[in-house]
């Protein structure tokens, strides 16, 4: 069977063998192609080795970093400190079981204060700052501009826009109220519109909304 296959194959290969023997250019071309394939394969292997070495080096560095971190300080104390900072942030947030309640609380407070100071409110808007993970329908279209990345856990960033008629003494009193308020309010932008009739002032504020901060007795303690 094998002899029959060889007998049939050899005549078909004879022209190729004859060309191989007669053409030096063909032989050199085939050798060049084989050489290029060998070099390509060698470079591929070397690249793979370099990648594995880099991954191993990164893993060793990460292991060393974790080992050093494991030997540093009291983790229970660090956890307690982080919890205290989180409680401090929550104490500055407009509390509510839902972010919408925080928005409503901020809007009601701004309207109450401005009315009490005798300021005429022309526009008052409060909206959550859109997060990358939230859909367009979940939150109003407000640019994040990096604010969300600095928001503490379990809190939501808000932005308020307030336009009132210009009364210098009342506006200064409003700014003082914003500074004195227990919940944090940052005046991001203040514009005097002297050309408007009547003259107006526009304020853009930043604030946080989140759950109520627990009391010191009910706050969770760091685990030993």
Looking at the DSSP bridge assignments, the partners of residue 40 are none
pLDDT in tens, 185-216: 888 889 988 888 889 999 999 888 876 555 44
Total number of residues shown for the chain:
224
What is the pLDDT at residue 136?
Answer: 44
Indicate whether 217 pLDDT > 70: no
Per mean pLDDT, which range of 29-38, 65-74, 101-110, 165-174 is the poorest? 65-74
What is the pLDDT at residue 83?
Answer: 78
What is the pLDDT at residue 172?
Answer: 92
What is the pLDDT at residue 207?
Answer: 85
CA–CA distance, 44 with 9 (Å, rounded to integer): 36
Please state, rounded to an integer, the average pLDDT across all residues of the chain.
77
What is the pLDDT at residue 162?
Answer: 92
CA–CA distance, 200 with 192 (Å, rounded to integer): 6
pTM for this predicted structure: 0.50
What is the pLDDT at residue 10?
Answer: 59
106 token code pair? 């901020």
What is the pLDDT at residue 220?
Answer: 45
pLDDT in tens, 108-158: 999 999 999 999 999 999 888 865 544 444 444 445 454 544 666 677 888
Indicate whether 218 pLDDT > 50: no
pLDDT in tens, 52-90: 999 999 998 988 888 777 776 677 777 778 777 777 767
> Rounded to the nearest 10 degrees, how much is the dihedral formed by the CA atoms of 215, 217, 220, 224?
150
């Amino acid at each position: 069977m094998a002899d029959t296959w060889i007998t049939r194959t050899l005549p078909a290969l004879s022209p190729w063998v004859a060309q191989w023997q007669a053409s030096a250019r063909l032989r050199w071309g085939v050798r060049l192609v084989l050489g290029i394939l060998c070099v390509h394969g060698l470079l591929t292997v070397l690249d793979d080795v370099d990648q594995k070495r880099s991954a191993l080096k990164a893993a060793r560095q990460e292991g060393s970093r974790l080992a050093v971190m494991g030997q540093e300080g009291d983790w229970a104390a660090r956890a307690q400190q982080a919890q205290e900072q989180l409680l401090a942030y929550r104490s500055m947030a407009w509390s509510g079981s839902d972010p919408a309640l925080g928005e409503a609380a901020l809007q009601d407070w701004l309207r109450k204060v401005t009315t009490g100071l005798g300021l005429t409110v022309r526009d008052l808007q409060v909206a959550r700052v859109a997060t990358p993970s939230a859909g367009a329908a979940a939150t109003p279209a407000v640019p994040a501009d990096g604010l969300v990345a600095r928001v503490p856990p379990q809190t939501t960033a808000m932005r308020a826009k307030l336009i009132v008629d210009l009364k210098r003494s009342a506006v200064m009193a409003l700014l003082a109220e914003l500074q004195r308020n227990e919940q944090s309010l940052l005046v991001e932008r203040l514009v005097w519109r002297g050309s408007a009739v009547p003259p107006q002032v526009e304020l853009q504020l930043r604030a946080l909304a989140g759950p109520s901060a627990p009391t010191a007795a009910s706050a969770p303690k760091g685990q030993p």
